[in-house]
Protein backbone atom coordinates (compact mmCIF):
# COMPACT_ATOMS: atom_id res chain seq x y z
CA UNK A 1 0.00 0.00 0.00
CA UNK A 2 2.90 2.36 0.46
CA UNK A 3 3.69 2.24 -3.24
CA UNK A 4 4.47 5.03 -5.61
CA UNK A 5 1.18 6.94 -5.29
CA UNK A 6 1.61 10.60 -4.44
CA UNK A 7 -1.18 11.04 -1.95
CA UNK A 8 -2.03 8.48 0.73
CA UNK A 9 -5.63 7.27 0.80
CA UNK A 10 -8.11 7.05 3.64
CA UNK A 11 -8.18 3.24 3.34
CA UNK A 12 -4.40 3.17 3.72
CA UNK A 13 -4.72 5.33 6.85
CA UNK A 14 -7.45 3.09 8.29
CA UNK A 15 -5.37 -0.04 7.71
CA UNK A 16 -2.36 1.69 9.25
CA UNK A 17 -4.56 2.63 12.24
CA UNK A 18 -5.53 -1.00 12.66
CA UNK A 19 -1.92 -2.21 12.43
CA UNK A 20 -0.55 0.41 14.82
CA UNK A 21 -3.35 -0.24 17.31
CA UNK A 22 -2.83 -3.98 17.26
CA UNK A 23 0.93 -3.56 17.54
CA UNK A 24 0.59 -1.06 20.39
CA UNK A 25 -1.87 -3.07 22.46
CA UNK A 26 0.01 -6.34 21.95
CA UNK A 27 3.33 -4.71 22.84
CA UNK A 28 1.81 -3.11 25.93
CA UNK A 29 0.53 -6.48 27.09
CA UNK A 30 3.98 -8.00 26.67
CA UNK A 31 5.93 -5.09 28.18
CA UNK A 32 3.66 -4.77 31.21
CA UNK A 33 5.04 -8.11 32.43
CA UNK A 34 8.57 -6.68 32.56
CA UNK A 35 8.03 -3.01 33.38
CA UNK A 36 5.77 -0.85 35.49
CA UNK A 37 2.62 -0.08 33.51
CA UNK A 38 3.51 3.64 33.33
CA UNK A 39 6.92 2.88 31.84
CA UNK A 40 5.38 0.40 29.43
CA UNK A 41 2.82 3.04 28.43
CA UNK A 42 5.55 5.60 27.78
CA UNK A 43 7.48 3.12 25.66
CA UNK A 44 4.45 2.09 23.65
CA UNK A 45 3.29 5.68 23.09
CA UNK A 46 6.75 6.61 21.86
CA UNK A 47 7.22 3.61 19.61
CA UNK A 48 3.75 3.78 18.04
CA UNK A 49 4.10 7.51 17.43
CA UNK A 50 7.59 7.03 15.97
CA UNK A 51 6.24 4.40 13.58
CA UNK A 52 3.53 6.83 12.48
CA UNK A 53 6.08 9.63 12.03
CA UNK A 54 8.32 7.39 9.93
CA UNK A 55 5.26 6.42 7.85
CA UNK A 56 4.53 10.13 7.28
CA UNK A 57 8.13 10.80 6.28
CA UNK A 58 8.08 7.91 3.84
CA UNK A 59 4.80 9.03 2.26
CA UNK A 60 5.83 12.65 1.86
CA UNK A 61 6.82 13.82 -1.61
CA UNK A 62 9.14 16.49 -0.19
CA UNK A 63 12.78 15.52 0.00
CA UNK A 64 14.26 18.11 2.34
CA UNK A 65 14.42 17.82 6.10
CA UNK A 66 13.49 14.16 6.44
CA UNK A 67 16.71 13.22 8.22
CA UNK A 68 16.33 16.12 10.66
CA UNK A 69 12.72 15.09 11.34
CA UNK A 70 13.70 11.48 11.97
CA UNK A 71 16.53 12.53 14.31
CA UNK A 72 14.20 14.93 16.17
CA UNK A 73 11.69 12.11 16.66
CA UNK A 74 14.36 9.79 18.00
CA UNK A 75 15.74 12.55 20.25
CA UNK A 76 12.31 13.17 21.79
CA UNK A 77 11.92 9.46 22.43
CA UNK A 78 15.41 9.17 23.91
CA UNK A 79 14.79 12.10 26.26
CA UNK A 80 11.45 10.57 27.27
CA UNK A 81 13.16 7.28 28.09
CA UNK A 82 16.05 8.83 30.03
CA UNK A 83 14.29 11.68 31.84
CA UNK A 84 11.22 10.88 33.90
CA UNK A 85 8.32 12.58 32.14
CA UNK A 86 4.61 12.16 32.53
CA UNK A 87 2.64 10.36 29.88
CA UNK A 88 0.70 13.58 29.30
CA UNK A 89 3.87 15.57 28.57
CA UNK A 90 5.15 12.87 26.22
CA UNK A 91 1.78 12.63 24.46
CA UNK A 92 1.66 16.42 24.03
CA UNK A 93 5.19 16.46 22.59
CA UNK A 94 4.43 13.59 20.22
CA UNK A 95 1.13 15.12 19.08
CA UNK A 96 2.90 18.42 18.44
CA UNK A 97 5.57 16.57 16.45
CA UNK A 98 2.94 14.83 14.31
CA UNK A 99 1.19 18.13 13.67
CA UNK A 100 4.45 19.88 12.83
CA UNK A 101 5.53 17.18 10.39
CA UNK A 102 2.18 16.98 8.65
CA UNK A 103 2.04 20.78 8.43
CA UNK A 104 5.50 20.93 6.87
CA UNK A 105 5.28 17.90 4.61
CA UNK A 106 1.61 17.70 3.61
CA UNK A 107 -0.10 21.11 4.05
CA UNK A 108 -0.08 24.20 1.86
CA UNK A 109 -0.86 26.99 4.32
CA UNK A 110 -1.93 28.16 7.76
CA UNK A 111 -5.62 27.31 7.35
CA UNK A 112 -4.78 23.80 6.21
CA UNK A 113 -2.42 23.40 9.17
CA UNK A 114 -5.17 24.63 11.52
CA UNK A 115 -7.48 21.97 10.09
CA UNK A 116 -4.77 19.40 10.68
CA UNK A 117 -4.37 20.60 14.26
CA UNK A 118 -8.12 20.19 14.73
CA UNK A 119 -7.84 16.59 13.52
CA UNK A 120 -5.06 15.88 15.99
CA UNK A 121 -6.92 17.47 18.92
CA UNK A 122 -10.15 15.72 17.92
CA UNK A 123 -8.36 12.39 17.60
CA UNK A 124 -6.71 12.82 21.00
CA UNK A 125 -10.06 13.75 22.57
CA UNK A 126 -11.74 10.73 21.02
CA UNK A 127 -8.91 8.47 22.21
CA UNK A 128 -9.27 9.79 25.78
CA UNK A 129 -13.04 9.37 25.63
CA UNK A 130 -12.63 5.82 24.32
CA UNK A 131 -10.08 4.98 27.01
CA UNK A 132 -12.37 6.28 29.74
CA UNK A 133 -15.38 4.26 28.64
CA UNK A 134 -13.81 1.07 27.30
CA UNK A 135 -10.44 0.82 29.09
CA UNK A 136 -9.13 -0.66 25.86
CA UNK A 137 -5.75 0.47 24.61
CA UNK A 138 -6.47 -1.08 21.22
CA UNK A 139 -9.70 0.90 20.75
CA UNK A 140 -8.11 4.10 22.05
CA UNK A 141 -5.19 3.87 19.65
CA UNK A 142 -7.43 2.83 16.80
CA UNK A 143 -9.82 5.72 17.33
CA UNK A 144 -6.93 8.21 17.41
CA UNK A 145 -5.24 6.89 14.28
CA UNK A 146 -8.54 6.42 12.46
CA UNK A 147 -9.28 10.12 12.92
CA UNK A 148 -5.76 10.84 11.64
CA UNK A 149 -6.58 8.93 8.45
CA UNK A 150 -8.93 11.79 7.56
CA UNK A 151 -5.93 14.09 7.04
CA UNK A 152 -5.87 12.95 3.40
CA UNK A 153 -9.02 14.99 2.77
CA UNK A 154 -7.33 18.25 3.77
CA UNK A 155 -5.62 20.23 0.98
CA UNK A 156 -2.17 18.83 0.42
CA UNK A 157 1.06 19.92 -1.18
CA UNK A 158 0.87 18.81 -4.78
CA UNK A 159 3.70 17.64 -6.97
CA UNK A 160 3.93 21.05 -8.67
CA UNK A 161 4.62 22.70 -5.30
CA UNK A 162 7.43 20.28 -4.56
CA UNK A 163 9.18 20.43 -7.92
CA UNK A 164 9.72 24.21 -7.94
CA UNK A 165 8.98 24.17 -11.65
CA UNK A 166 10.15 27.54 -12.95
CA UNK A 167 7.76 27.54 -15.89
CA UNK A 168 4.61 27.57 -13.71
CA UNK A 169 5.15 31.08 -12.34
CA UNK A 170 5.05 34.01 -14.82
CA UNK A 171 7.66 35.94 -12.82
CA UNK A 172 10.04 32.99 -12.78
CA UNK A 173 9.51 32.49 -16.52
CA UNK A 174 10.29 36.18 -17.19
CA UNK A 175 13.32 36.01 -14.90
CA UNK A 176 14.65 32.96 -16.75
CA UNK A 177 14.11 34.71 -20.10
CA UNK A 178 15.98 37.81 -18.87
CA UNK A 179 18.89 35.72 -17.64
CA UNK A 180 19.03 33.93 -20.98
CA UNK A 181 19.04 37.25 -22.84
CA UNK A 182 21.85 38.61 -20.64
CA UNK A 183 23.92 35.47 -21.23
CA UNK A 184 23.49 35.75 -24.99
CA UNK A 185 24.46 39.47 -24.93
CA UNK A 186 27.53 38.68 -22.82
CA UNK A 187 28.55 35.87 -25.16
CA UNK A 188 28.09 38.12 -28.18
CA UNK A 189 30.39 40.79 -26.65
CA UNK A 190 33.14 38.32 -25.81
CA UNK A 191 33.29 36.92 -29.35
Cα separation, 123 vs 127, whole angstroms:
6
- CA dist 187 and 189 (Å) reads 5
Give the pLDDT of residue 182. 74
Give the model's pLDDT for residue 190: 66
The confidence score (pLDDT) of residue 139 equals 93
Which pLDDT score is estimated for 173? 78
The packing angle between helices 10-31 and 137-148, to 10°, is 150
C-alpha to C-alpha distances, 1 to 24, 59, 189, nearest whole angstrom = 20, 10, 57
Radius of gyration of the chain (CA): 22
Q: What is the pLDDT along the chain (191 residues), one digit of tens a residue?
A: 444 445 778 999 999 999 999 999 998 888 877 877 777 777 788 889 889 988 998 888 888 888 888 888 888 888 877 887 888 888 888 899 899 999 888 888 888 889 999 999 999 999 999 999 998 989 999 999 999 999 888 877 654 444 455 456 777 777 778 777 777 776 766 66
- pLDDT at position 180: 78
pLDDT value of position 160: 45
DSSP track, 116-160: HHHHHHHHHHHHHHHHHHH--HHHHHHHHHHHHGGGGGS----HH
Secondary structure element (H or E) that encloses residue 112, with its range: helix 110-134
Amino acid sequence: MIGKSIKPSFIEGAVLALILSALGSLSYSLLSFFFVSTSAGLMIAGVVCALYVFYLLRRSTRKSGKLVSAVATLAILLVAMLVPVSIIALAAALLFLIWLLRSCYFRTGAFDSAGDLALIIGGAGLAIFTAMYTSSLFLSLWSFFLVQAFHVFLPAITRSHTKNNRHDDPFERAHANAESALRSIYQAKTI
